Amino acid sequence: MKTDLIKIALQFQLDGTIDEVKPLGEGFINDTFIIKTKGDSPSYILQRKNKNIFSPIPAMMDNIEKVCQHIKNKVKQNGGDPLREAMTIIPAVDGKLYWLDEEEEYWAVCLFIEDTIAYEAAKTPDLAFAGGKGIGKFQSLVSDLKEPLVNILPGFHDIRYRFKQWDEILAKDPLGRKAMVSDEIAWIENRKEDMLNFWKLVENGTIPTRISHNDTKINNILFDKKGDVLCVIDLDTVLSSTVLNDFGDAMRTYTNTGAEDEVDLTKVSMDLEIFRAFTKGYLEETAWFLTPKEFEYLAFSAKYITYEQVLRFLMDYIDGDNYYKTKSKEHNLVRTRAQYKLLQSMEEQFEEMNKIVNAFATL
């Protein structure tokens, strides 16, 4: 059945008359559409939110609205344009931040920000620098938002929770794969204590809980035509957590010279120049509010998030490939090895990474 997109768009408080509603890009998580209106009225983004990943959606929308309002106020105080430098959520006709259709699908609308540049990937130092500025600026704008958000992704980047799953899956070993991956299991076990020690600092507040974005891909940052950061979008994953998770995950994805499922491991390594450029951009925006403990663990967070991903791929392999989509029986094992190669490359360059952090920390 073809969804009647115009009917859905009409459920929201839009200015002007709808001209057309058509798909925009290829989001992996949500279905995204653009609503065009006639004349001078603005365009809008319409999204079907993925309720299988985020739950409950109403709480997620409350989180997003809280963050957007906070950023808007900041932008106004700084003399900026709150309609371009922040996301504007458009409520439904009944005042809710979403509309639930007859098939129990959740829809949400925000203002379309015109004349922006979005990059698909950050494979050059210049773009990595821009990405660092984007995520850093976002974190900086919400650094004084003290009210906690609803945790819509329990266990996210929580290694204690992952180890619980790990123990369960190893005990179950449903396909008898465990015996074939004893080296890989040792990779995990050898680093377990280090990782738990870091997470303890988050749990006991030594590393502060702030607002993190949790989807730091560069295509979630809109730039203006001059190339300056305008606005960070895709706020579905905002959480109260450590901001180090954003830094670490960005470095896991930006710096990898190979594909996540690269078979030829000689192609996989951490690109230190990309690390340097991102860190510079990031710290230009965030150095003013980060604590000494956060600086101390910034480079470590890249290893932490990469390690977590090695663990998740391996765990899914042993569990019989239930979580990640796979193209072959060994796909998750290939991913495990490629991600581990990246982790090793970070471990080899760890001293350099810390030097870079220290150099930009005192700018």
Ligand X SMILES: Nc1ncnc2c1ncn2[C@@H]1O[C@H](COP(=O)(O)OP(=O)(O)O)[C@@H](O)[C@H]1O
Least distance CB 151 / ligand X (angstroms): 19
Q: 222 φ, ψ to 5°?
A: -95, 130
Half-sphere exposure of 330 (CA within 13 A, CB side): 7
Least distance CB 224 / ligand X (angstroms): 12
Q: 18 φ, ψ to 5°?
A: -70, 135
Residue 181 binding result from ligand X, Mg ion, none, given CB thresholds of 5 to 8 Å by partner type: none
Residue 45 binding result from ligand X, Mg ion, none, given CB thresholds of 5 to 8 Å by partner type: ligand X
Shorter beta-carbon distance to Mg ion: residue 50 or 240 = 50
The token duo for 119 is: 């990059």
Shorter beta-carbon distance to Mg ion: residue 220 or 255 = 220
Point out which residues pair with 99 in neighbouring strands. Answer: 107
- C-beta of residue 68 within 8 angstroms of C-beta of residue 235: yes
Shorter beta-carbon distance to Mg ion: residue 28 or 288 = 28
Point out which residues pair with 45 in neighbouring strands. Answer: 34, 110
DSSP reduced 3-state for 45: strand
Point out which residues pair with 232 in neighbouring strands. Answer: 221
Least distance CB 233 / Mg ion (angstroms): 7
Q: Binding marks (x or -) toward Mg ion, 204..233, rule CB under 5 A?
A: ----------------x-------------
Shorter beta-carbon distance to ligand X: residue 92 or 272 = 92
Interface residue list for ligand X (CB under 6 A): 24-25, 27-30, 32, 45, 87, 110, 112-113, 116, 118, 219-220, 222, 233-234
Least distance CB 184 / ligand X (angstroms): 31
Residue 201 binding result from Mg ion, ligand X, none, given CB thresholds of 5 to 8 Å by partner type: none
User: Is position 269 an interface residue for Mg ion (rule: CB under 5 A)?
Assistant: no
Shorter beta-carbon distance to ligand X: residue 62 or 224 = 224
Give me the helix-helix angle, 292-319 and 331-348, nearest 10°: 160
Residue choice 85, 184, 234, 294 for contact with Mg ion (CB under 5 A): 234
Cis (ω within 30 of 0) for the bond into 23?
no
Residue closest to ligand X, measured at CB: 27
| Sign of the dihedral through C-alpha 221, 223, 228, 229 | negative
Shorter beta-carbon distance to ligand X: residue 30 or 242 = 30
Least distance CB 116 / ligand X (angstroms): 6
Point out which residues pair with 240 in neighbouring strands. Answer: 211
Least distance CB 236 / ligand X (angstroms): 6
Give me the helix-helix angle, 182-203 and 292-319, nearest 10°: 140
Residue 263 binding result from Mg ion, ligand X, none, given CB thresholds of 5 to 8 Å by partner type: none
Least distance CB 53 / ligand X (angstroms): 9
Residue 25 binding result from Mg ion, ligand X, none, given CB thresholds of 5 to 8 Å by partner type: ligand X
Q: Which of residues 170-189 bind Mg ion (CB under 5 A)?
A: none
Q: What share of the chain is helix, strand, coil (3-state, %, to 5)?
A: 50, 15, 40
Least distance CB 83 / ligand X (angstroms): 10
Count of all residues that appear for the chain in the document: 363
Between the two ends of the chain, the Cα-to-Cα distance in Å is 57
Shorter beta-carbon distance to ligand X: residue 43 or 257 = 43
Shorter beta-carbon distance to Mg ion: residue 123 or 192 = 123
Ramachandran region, residue 227 (left: φ > 0; alpha: ψ -120 to 50; beta: rest): left
Distance, CA of 359 to CA of 363 (rounded, Å): 7
Residue labelled with tokens 């006991």: 204
Question: Residue numbers of the site for Mg ion (CB under 5 A)?
Answer: 220, 234
